[in-house]
Amino acid sequence: MKDTYDRINNVCLVILTFIAFTGALIYTKSILIPFVISLFIFSVSGPSIDWFETKLKAPRFLAVALTMGIFILSSFVVSLFIVKSLNAFIDGIGDYHIRFTLAVDSVVAFLNSYSIEINPEMIKDTVRNLPVLSLVKKFSGGLVNFVSNSVLIIIMVLFLIAGEGVTKIKNDMVKQVHYKISKYVATKFFMSFITAVIVGILLFSLKVDLAFMFVILTFLLNFIPSIGSIIAVLIPLPVLFLQFGAGWELVTVMSISSAIQFCIGNVIEPKIMGENLGLHPIVILLFLLFWGLVWGIPGMFLAVPMTAVMKIVLSRIETTKTLAELLGGKLPNNI
């Protein structure tokens, strides 16, 4: 009887702790999101700094400067190309309007040939009334917020690297977290980069509008498990339709992009990643929704490594070892 009471008491405490933990995450997300991102960048930057120190025999301050310089420069170049792509899109908005009108007329004519009556003006008016201006304002505000957070993240990373030079990590759990997160982010970065390069070759060979922006989105969205690759395939669809219509170019891009995402995401990446994080696929999907609810889009990018950290921490606490086993897809013996 006492064992049953203790078990119920422990379950209730875990539930209350989880609720309080979730509330704290939501309330402090403006502080925690930049900090967590800086921790992951710090985890990935470690091998690069060590490489500069060991292979090039560079002093630590120079290795840190080179690593951060490469990171800042690459971020600046990518941002510059994205802005250039958006400017090209805005400059050609009139051309896209003409293409859209022609596309609507052709679709309506096709449907009318099968005795399906649709008013083309209603479709055009609906598109004209879309809140494009408000979306642009939201995007601009989000871009300013991202730039300000990027400065804060860079400062945090520099302080973390400086702190590592003074105090080495000795705790076994922290070492395990550092190793697994570094391996996951490095593998995911490499696989996303390869996917983006192959998709980019395809888009640039067909001279698709906004090709570079779609390449960057493909790279970034591949960090979101499961649904990220699907969104990356579907995002170019409206531009492809407006540029080429329902021609072979659209079919080629969609089919090849889907095949690339499937092969790399479901065949190659799992073999390289292996059981590195020890998370069950359904657990990854559930916590993708959880972190998306708590931290929005940044939470979806951080869902897998954050859940892996939770699993490691829970496995070190006697009361929550059962939960850690469930996250790994293992049913404990007492269930």
> Percentage of residues in the chain with pLDDT exceeding 90?
1
Question: Has residue 319 got a pLDDT over 80?
Answer: no
Least Cα distance to 296 among 26, 17, 73, 9 occurs for 26
> What was the pLDDT predicted at 166?
47
pLDDT band of residue 143 (cuts 50, 70, 90) is low
Task: For residues 322 and 335, give the distance between their C-alpha atoms in angstroms, rounded to a whole number.
Answer: 9
Question: Has residue 325 got a pLDDT over 80?
Answer: no
Task: For residues 270 and 274, give the distance between their C-alpha atoms in angstroms, rounded to a whole number.
Answer: 5
> What was the pLDDT predicted at 169?
59
Question: Has residue 309 got a pLDDT over 60?
Answer: yes
Separation of first and last alpha carbons in the chain: 17
Tokens of 44: 């990935």
Q: Work out the average pLDDT over 243-272.
A: 80
Span of 2-6, 160-164, 321-325 with lowest mean pLDDT: 2-6
CB 218 within 8 A of CB 196: yes
Residues 264-288: pLDDT tens digits? 877 777 666 655 666 777 888 888 8
> What was the pLDDT predicted at 48?
78
The Cα diameter of the chain in Å comes to 77
Q: Work out the average pLDDT over 96-103.
A: 72
Task: For residues 211 and 234, give the distance between their C-alpha atoms in angstroms, rounded to a whole number.
Answer: 14
57: Cα within 13 Å, side-chain hemisphere = 0
305: burial class by Cβ within 10 Å (0-12, 13-18, 19+)?
A: buried
> What was the pLDDT predicted at 161?
75
56: burial class by Cβ within 10 Å (0-12, 13-18, 19+)?
A: exposed
Question: What residues contact 189, with CB distance under 8 A and at least 6 apart?
Answer: 44
Q: Work out the average pLDDT over 160-170.
A: 62
Cβ neighbours, 10 Å, residue 323? 17
Q: Work out the average pLDDT over 294-310.
A: 82
Q: Work out the average pLDDT over 118-123.
A: 68
Q: Work out the average pLDDT over 31-50.
A: 80
- Give the chain's mean pLDDT: 76
> What was the pLDDT predicted at 1?
56
245 in helix, strand or coil? coil
Q: Work out the average pLDDT over 59-76.
A: 80
Question: Has residue 139 got a pLDDT over 60?
Answer: no
Give the residue, 226 or 136, on which the prediction is more confident: 226
Question: What residues contact 25, with CB distance under 8 A and at least 6 apart?
Answer: 32, 294, 295
CB 153 within 8 A of CB 41: yes
Tokens of 134: 């408000």
Residues 199-245: pLDDT tens digits? 989 988 988 887 888 888 888 888 887 788 888 888 888 888 777 77
Q: What is the DSSP string of 50-86?
A: HHHHHTS---HHHHHHHHHHHHHHHHHHHHHHHHHHH
Q: Work out the average pLDDT over 54-82.
A: 78
Instruction: Say if pTM beats, i.e. exceeds, 0.95.
Output: no
Q: Work out the average pLDDT over 160-184.
A: 68
Cβ neighbours, 10 Å, residue 64? 22
- Letter for the amino acid at 242? L
Span of 72-76, 111-115, 228-232, 297-301 with lowest mean pLDDT: 111-115
Task: For residues 239 and 100, give the distance between their C-alpha atoms in angstroms, rounded to a whole number.
Answer: 10
Task: For residues 137 and 141, give the distance between their C-alpha atoms in angstroms, rounded to a whole number.
Answer: 6
Q: Work out the average pLDDT over 88-102.
A: 70
